Amino acid sequence: MTSSLFLSIIITILVLSYALEQFAQYLNLRYHPEELPTELEGIYDQEEYDKSNDYHRATTNFSFLTSSVSLIIFILVLLTGLLGRVDGWLANFITQPWLRGVVFLIVMFIINDILTIPFQWFKTFTIEERFGFNKTTPKLFFADKLKGWALTSLIGGVLIAALLLLVQFLGQNFWLYFWAIMTAFSLFMAMFFTDLLLPLFNKLNPLDEGELKTAITDYAIQEDFEIKNTLVMDGSKRSTKANAFFSGLGKQKKIVLYDTLVDTMDTEEIVAVMAHEVGHNKKRHIPLMMTMSIVQIGVILFLLSRMIFSVELSQALGSTQAVAAPHLNLIAFSLLFTPISLAIGFFTNWLSRKFEFEADAFASHTASKAGMANALKKLATKNLSNMVPHPFYVALHYDHPPVMERLKAIEKL
């Protein structure tokens, strides 16, 4: 394939996926009625419902703006061959191809993020602020940014360096070795994310002794479920939105509750939320999802190994050199892969939604049906969730079923 054909395909994919996303958002925006639907009575009143619609409209319009601007900028970058030119310029200083690749990708990542700061700023301090979610201060915003850049450069840099070194010295077989590295890395992150990375951004304290702690321990004993720790995280320092999750594998499992969740829910509801997470564990959802993602990484790496040495692909991004630039091809490949990842996304979202129903059912049976239903209602109202999303939008983006569907399913149990 010639480089200009590659470039045309990449731009077509970019434009089509943008169009698909905007179409889905348009459908979604028009889907909810202005009047409060009867099935939402008791969850939202008309005023809260209006507010959730306003929030939804504001975030959708804003995402239309950001994705349009980034599409235009990105197409200009591609058409002018800017990426290849920057790479050619870097080659004057760094002769080792793998090292040049690492520097190039880290610099591109940071430049890209700097360009989006005005948008992130507006989202946090205007939209989230207007709807009463935002608790982030400008100082915290920039501290998060710097920490995020440092961490991504460090972890991403090491992984990219490993990948490009393998590519440079092993040739096409690199993918098998890098697959092993990525598998080890995924397992490591699943085990130690809460211990190593999360504390850099949040404070985690053990849950105080008391009624809630006792109820959680009792439930864990009842279900013969070993947890190492129950932690409360200061989510309220960034946002009023609430959440809870499990982390770790085997005997290292920890439950993390946002302080915003602990403050708004009663004991019965929090135990139900925890029971839901236990359900994911008992039903083996977590190892299954993990295995699927590891297989997926293997397939992606294999496909990558067929394209990463293509000189024409590098030239499509503006390279003027006679040899392939694997780091440029990495970017090109990720763009070419968009349609496949969209298809995979449809499937994994569907499976994940199915698992959510199963976990809700588990929590309803082993903890409390009313607790689970009330917890979902409170989460939805607190986060101003869109209660009536369009089915196509759900298929595209939702890894959790819409709250109304979950409530209906719980009712039927």
Using CB under 5 A as the binding rule, the residues of this chain from 351 to 390 that contact Zn ion are: 356, 359
Give CA–CA dist 349/186, Å, rounded: 20
Applying CB under 5 A, does 227 fall inside the site for Zn ion?
A: no
Using alpha carbons, select from 204, 193, 200 the residue that is nearest to residue 230: 204
Give CA–CA dist 405/394, Å, rounded: 12
Count residues binding Zn ion (CB under 5 A).
2
Q: Is 277 tagged catalytic?
A: yes
- How far apart are CB 359 and Zn ion at their closest, in Å? 5
- How far apart are CB 311 and Zn ion at their closest, in Å? 46
Q: Taking the alpha carbons of 121, 158, 339, 325 in that order, is the dihedral positive or negative?
A: positive
Using alpha carbons, select from 376, 373, 389 the residue that is nearest to residue 53: 389
- How far apart are CB 286 and Zn ion at their closest, in Å? 10
Token pair in block for residue 67: 């994705």
Question: What are the backbone dihedrals phi and psi of residue 257, each rounded to the nearest 5 degrees, phi first?
Answer: -110, 130
Q: Which is nearer to Zn ion, 24 or 271 (CB)?
A: 271
In the shown chain, the binding pattern of residues 317 to 356 toward Zn ion, with x for contact by CB under 5 A and - for none, equals ---------------------------------------x
- How far apart are CB 356 and Zn ion at their closest, in Å? 5
Give CA–CA dist 407/241, Å, rounded: 20
Catalytic residue selected from 360, 399, 405, 411: 360
Q: Which is nearer to Zn ion, 165 or 359 (CB)?
A: 359
Catalytic residue selected from 277, 356, 358, 411: 277
Q: Which is nearer to Zn ion, 40 or 361 (CB)?
A: 361
Distant-in-sequence, close-in-space partners of 185: CB < 8 Å, separation ≥ 6: 159
Q: Which is nearer to Zn ion, 359 or 384 (CB)?
A: 359
Using alpha carbons, select from 249, 234, 242, 235 the residue that is nearest to residue 280: 249
Q: Is 266 tagged catalytic?
A: no
Which residues are known to be catalytic? 277, 360
Task: Return residues touching Zn ion (CB under 5 A).
Answer: 356, 359
